[in-house]
């Protein structure tokens, strides 16, 4: 019987192949899949076969057309959608054990009494400590639908027996705004990490708070902001612009031109704004930067942005997977295309762009940046010259200080030596630090990094054959390292807001913006 089935399939395949000689490429693809599934020497995973074919097709296009399976799609969308469902803790792994950094305020874990420093060792009687379980598997066990319960076994310093908590999972907010504070008298600072569904609401809440504290000028930090939802970028841009000002437009081979304009209800139309960007500022963050620059609405400070100006349309597939297919380009109000050049199918060359910028001197020296006159454009009000060709070149260039971030520091970071030492330090000292510094202001004014922590990092580096080439390199490394560690301590004791309150004081880009504002 099996012999006749194979012969029948072979006959059908041959017939289809003959009838498909002048048919569409789709029929050819179907025949290839049919042949492999039914005649290949070994068994194959048909689902993976199809997924690999989709990925292969998309890889031959542009760098941003992608396929994600159902799990990848869910993980990718959660940070932009504004929440996920779980137990509500920030955590790190210390020697194969999950250690709670902070429970989410008013979240399900905090409500049952879980504290910073607690070690979660059991989830529903399954051990997750000391078993080298992948982080993704741990998160899968902790997350779950709102309203479901999970039993956690917890070890706590100073308590001999294991504690048991039953946590009812809930919706946990994911914030795209990571810092908002008065960086100087009358100068507000807001940092956006991405553009998600709730970004505009978070942004305006921060604006209202800063205005109550006397803000007269705003620093909008979009450094390292990789983008997100177009609509969120349009909403934020709208707050700064006059009625009918162009924000961005998109256009493609089969996609009609779509124009986005300000609608005149912005609450920051007269607020001086300084936008901070760097080589990792991309996509939706470049839309905001381009809208503010091309409408002569504010000052851009930093380094040329990434240059991601391709519009992806999400195509949802029945099994929860997704194709994000590039259908158009973004254009700034002056007509500049944000997208940097690329070779179709050459993802490696595209990925190496930032390294090329560093080698060519673009990140450290503005004189090394050359623009093609054919890509010259002009801003809409003051008719200043700006250039296309990829990314947004700031009004004020701030070079990357490669001397500050030394080779020694880079190697210590790459091996996780700094983070590992920091986490052990916090695990042992968190309770005492909270007692000694009840407020961030007290911490910021008085805290000094203990020398034994620095010594431990350098000693571990020597163990792993990472040493300074001379005393001068070690001396150059220590100030930046201390800033990094103090910022991390602040983050652990409070939140990312306090991390940036420490970190920004040594940021050349942030300090340039402050200098420009105070000079007015």
Note if 308 is an active site residue: yes
Catalytic residue among 118, 221, 237, 308: 308
End-to-end CA distance of the chain: 88
Three-class DSSP category at 336: coil
Q: Which residues on adjacent β-strands are paired with residue 277?
A: 302
Which residues touch 296 (CB under 8 Å, ≥6 apart)?
A: 379, 380, 381, 382, 384
With tokens 């590992």, the residue in question is 420
For the record, the structure tokens of 73 come out as 């799609």
DSSP-H helix ranges across 374-416: 407-414
Which residues touch 454 (CB under 8 Å, ≥6 apart)?
A: 478, 481, 482
Catalytic residue among 109, 178, 283, 334: 283
Q: Which residues on adjacent β-strands are paired with residue 331?
A: 249, 337
Catalytic residue among 62, 118, 224, 294: 294
Rounded CA gap, 302 and 336, in Å?
19
For the record, the structure tokens of 485 come out as 């560690």
Give the CA angle between residues 64, 69, 74 to the nearest 5°.
90
* Among 422, 505, 446, CA closest to 92: 422
The number of CA neighbours under 13 Å toward the Cβ of 405 is 13
Q: Which residues on adjacent β-strands are paired with residue 171?
A: 85
- Let me know: does 397 contact 389? Beta carbons within 8 Å: no
Q: Which residues on adjacent β-strands are paired with residue 68?
A: 322
Note if 283 is an active site residue: yes
Any idea how long the chain is?
Answer: 520
Rounded CA gap, 247 and 251, in Å?
14
Helices 471-493 and 407-414: crossing angle, nearest 10°? 50
Q: Which residues on adjacent β-strands are paired with residue 170?
A: 86
Catalytic residues: 283, 294, 308
């Amino acid at each position: 019987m099996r012999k006749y089935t194979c012969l029948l399939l072979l006959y059908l395949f041959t017939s289809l192949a003959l009838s498909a000689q002048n048919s569409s490429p789709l029929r050819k693809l179907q025949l290839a899949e049919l042949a492999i599934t039914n005649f290949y020497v070994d068994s194959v995973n048909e689902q993976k076969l199809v997924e690999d074919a989709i990925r292969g097709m998309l890889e031959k296009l542009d760098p941003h057309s992608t396929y994600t399976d159902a799990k990848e799609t869910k993980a990718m969308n959660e940070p932009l959608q504004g929440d996920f469902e779980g137990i509500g803790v920030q955590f790190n792994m210390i020697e194969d054990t999950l250690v709670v950094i902070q429970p989410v305020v008013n979240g399900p874990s905090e409500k049952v009494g879980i504290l910073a420093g607690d070690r979660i060792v059991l989830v529903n009687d399954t051990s997750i400590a000391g078993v080298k379980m992948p982080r993704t598997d741990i998160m899968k066990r902790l997350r779950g639908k709102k309203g479901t319960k999970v039993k956690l076994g917890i070890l706590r310093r100073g308590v001999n027996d294991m504690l048991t908590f039953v946590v009812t999972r809930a919706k946990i907010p994911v914030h795209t705004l990571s810092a908002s504070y008065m960086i100087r008298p009358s100068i507000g600072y807001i940092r956006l990490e991405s553009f998600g569904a709730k970004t505009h609401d978070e942004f305006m809440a921060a604006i209202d708070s800063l205005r109550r504290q006397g803000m007269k000028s705003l620093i909008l930090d979009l450094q390292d902001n990789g983008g997100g939802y177009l609509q969120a970028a349009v909403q934020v841009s709208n707050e700064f612009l006059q009625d009918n000002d162009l924000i961005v437009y998109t256009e493609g081979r089969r996609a009609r031109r779509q124009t986005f304009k300000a609608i005149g209800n912005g609450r920051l139309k007269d607020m001086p704004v300084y936008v901070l960007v760097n080589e990792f500022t991309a996509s939706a963050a470049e839309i905001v930067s381009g809208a503010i620059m091309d409408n002569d609405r504010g000052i851009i400070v930093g380094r040329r942005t990434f240059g991601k100006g391709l519009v992806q349309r999400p195509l949802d597939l029945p099994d929860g997977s997704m194709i994000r297919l590039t259908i158009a380009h973004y254009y700034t109000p002056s007509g500049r295309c944000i997208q940097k050049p690329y070779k179709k199918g050459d993802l490696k060359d595209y990925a190496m762009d930032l390294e090329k910028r560093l080698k060519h001197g673009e990140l450290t020296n503005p004189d090394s940046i050359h623009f093609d006159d054919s890509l010259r454009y002009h801003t809409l009000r003051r008719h200043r010259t700006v250039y296309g060709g990829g990314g947004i070149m700031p009004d004020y260039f701030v070079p990357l200080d490669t001397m500050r971030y030394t080779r020694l520091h880079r190697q210590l970071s790459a091996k996780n030596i700094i983070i590992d030492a920091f986490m052990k330090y916090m695990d042992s000292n968190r309770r005492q630090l909270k007692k000694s510094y009840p407020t961030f202001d007290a911490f910021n004014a008085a805290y000094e990094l203990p020398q034994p922590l620095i010594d431990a990092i350098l000693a571990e580096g020597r163990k792993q054959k990472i040493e300074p080439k001379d005393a001068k390199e070690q001396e150059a490394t220590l100030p930046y390292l201390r800033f990094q560690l103090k910022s991390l301590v602040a983050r652990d004791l409070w939140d990312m807001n306090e991390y940036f309150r420490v970190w920004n004081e040594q940021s050349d880009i942030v300090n340039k913006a402050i200098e420009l504002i105070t000079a007015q």
